[in-house]
Amino acid sequence: MSAIHIEPVNESEMESLYSIESAAHLVPWSLGTLKNNTGSRYHNLKILSDDRIAGFAICQTVLDEATLFNIAVHPDFQGQKLGYALLKALMEQLREKGVLTLWLEVRESNRRAINLYEKLNFNEVDVRRNYYPTPDGKRENAIIMAAYL
């Protein structure tokens, strides 16, 4: 069985995160966007499986709220409940910091992610129409979800 660890992301690891981002997402963030989501207002975590970064979460905190901007698990590690473990740890750490609500947006078509969020008590709050770009140049709705920590 693999040894799993969850740790803060180091800014020097952005290239490693970018390779996961590129493999895991339909329309991935750029390396520059990843690098721009660091600093004191962020609570970013990585999950390691046998000392290999398997996934990450990018989260911004503002006062008693946080927004999960990005979560990704490399396809080689999907289906092992690492996304669940990572998000659960993030939520626990945010709660300890005094964060009351965690917000996120998810592609309407991403049923696996929506199922994960629902397991962790996220509720649908609203729909943002035509929010996400698709590879064919069209747009897809985003479902806005929130969990009370």
The catalytic residues are: 105, 117
The answer to whether the annotation marks 72 as part of a ligand binding site is: yes
The answer to whether the annotation marks 71 as part of a ligand binding site is: yes
The answer to whether the annotation marks 58 as part of a ligand binding site is: no
Q: In this structure, are residues 42 and 61 in contact, taking their beta carbons and an 8 Å threshold?
A: yes
CA angle 139, 81, 53 (to 5 degrees): 80
The answer to whether the annotation marks 121 as part of a ligand binding site is: no
Query: At residue 22, what are phi and psi to the nearest 5 degrees?
Result: -65, -35
E strand intervals along 45-112: 45-49, 52-62, 65-73, 101-107
d(C-alpha 39, C-alpha 52), whole Å: 23
Annotated binding site for acetyl-CoA: 71-73, 110
Annotated binding site: 71-73, 110
